Amino acid sequence: MTTLNHAAGSSAMTLLTAVFTPFGPDGSLALGVVGDQADTLADWGSRGVYVGGTAGEGASMTTAERMALLERWCEVAAGRFDVIAHVGHTSLAEARNLAAHARDAGVQAISAVPPYFHRPADAAAVADFFAQVTQAAPDVPFIYYHIPGVTGVTVPASEVLVAARERVPTFAGIKFAHDDLADLQRCLHLAGDSHEMYVGSARLLLATMGIGARAAIGSAYNFAAPVFLRMIEHVAHGELSEARSCQLLAQSAIDTASAYGGELAGFKAAANLVGPDCGPTRPPLRSPGPAQVAELRDRLDALGLLAPASSR
């Protein structure tokens, strides 16, 4: 079972979920919640999960915690959807350790941001770094995670794609979390049916479908998947006005959640209202307090996001 190159020759859009990491009130890892998260995602048809990335606060976790979390996701996802493990790290040795562990855990793919403290200067440096990381998992597809707003690595993804397919034998595609649609279009042209481009901005999902994107990975699908699924269905039926209305509603939900502690903390709080409680974010992020959560609940309810799943 794999979502990689899942839609070659198809105009369909497939959603994968960047999952939140469940923490207890004291900030400790709460692995008991993962099974409930998986059930919720399976219910609406998520095709895969992206574990330990930006939404999963991987950079705020120890290597041991990241490994334990991934093992649990592989257990609960088996036979239901794919698991993509984020193995990015500022340390090459740690990234290699995480990649080898992910391979042994049984993931369908590994993925990583580039080093974000001592940053690679160009596409060749990015590709060479990941050529070394992926040697630790030589038979597992690799997805480059392009998120320059967080990493500060501004090398165009299209340049990385060209370098990576020459230097990284397991290169399978890019998770593109940026608003540069021109660069995304270049990537889609270069990728063809040989590599997959995963859209990482839910705000731009409809626009990216218009230039040929077929897959997306995002954290907004933890709480707003029904809206995006309706949008995709409208596009399939040529109902573009209705699709645009869905995208506007989704943007309203994203803006609403983001007002409560920022995008990550706000999204996690919103997801806690519609699915399993994954607890707070870790410092230095600040989760909204009880009064803010109550206000968020009211605002999401007014948007129709808290209605029973069958009626959304």
Residues annotated as part of the active site: 145, 175
Tokens read off for 133: 């990381």
Helix 157-167 × helix 123-134 angle, to 10°: 40
Contacts for 148 with CB less than 8 Å, ≥ 6 apart: 154, 178
Half-sphere exposure in the Cβ direction for 267 (13 Å, CA): 23
User: How far is the C-alpha of 163 from the C-alpha of 123, rounded, in Å?
Assistant: 6
Q: Which long-range contacts (CB under 8 A, 24 or more apart) does 23-27 make?
A: 23/278, 23/279, 23/280, 23/281, 23/282, 24/279, 25/279, 25/280, 27/280, 27/282, 27/283
To the nearest 10°, report the CA torsion of 172, 175, 181, 186. Answer: -10
What whole-number distance in Å separates Cα of residue 202 and Cα of residue 251?
Answer: 8
Query: What is the torsion angle, in degrees rounded to the nearest 10, for the CA atoms of residue 94, residue 96, residue 97 and residue 100?
Result: 160
Q: Which of 126, 142, 170, 176 is nearest to 186 (CA)?
A: 176
In whole angstroms, give the CA distance from residue 254 to residue 256. Answer: 5
Q: What is the largest CA-CA distance in the chain?
A: 53
